[in-house]
Amino acid sequence: MKINIIPENCIACGLCYLHAPDVFDYHDNGIVKLNNSDKLEEKYIFDDKIISAAKACPTAAIKIIKS
Ligand code: SF4
């Protein structure tokens, strides 16, 4: 699976980190980033926690690309 984050949609609510703290992190201003990368899209091993984070995001700032 791939995760694509859309920082301009992020409202810095912190929910994604609660669901998947090993995947999501934040810039100093609270806007989402991937914790192991400065890219907006990365491959990850399938993990339900990532799906939960994407579903929890109130602004659709996290896209899951199943592959
Ligand atoms: S859940 Fe969505 S809006 Fe909230 S911090 Fe994460 S990416 Fe941003």
Per residue in 19-35, pLDDT tens? 999 999 999 999 999 99
The whole domain housing 11 covers 2-65
Q: What percent of the chain shows pLDDT beyond 90?
A: 97
Ligand 1 atom 3 nearest Cα: 10
The CA 48 to ligand 1 mean position distance, Å, reads: 17
Residues 6+ apart with CB under 8 A from 54: 3, 16, 62, 63, 64
Q: How far apart are the first and last CA of the chain?
A: 5
Cβ 60 under 6 angstroms from ligand 1:
no
Total domains, the chain: 1
- Please say whether the beta carbons of 4 and 63 come within 8 A: yes
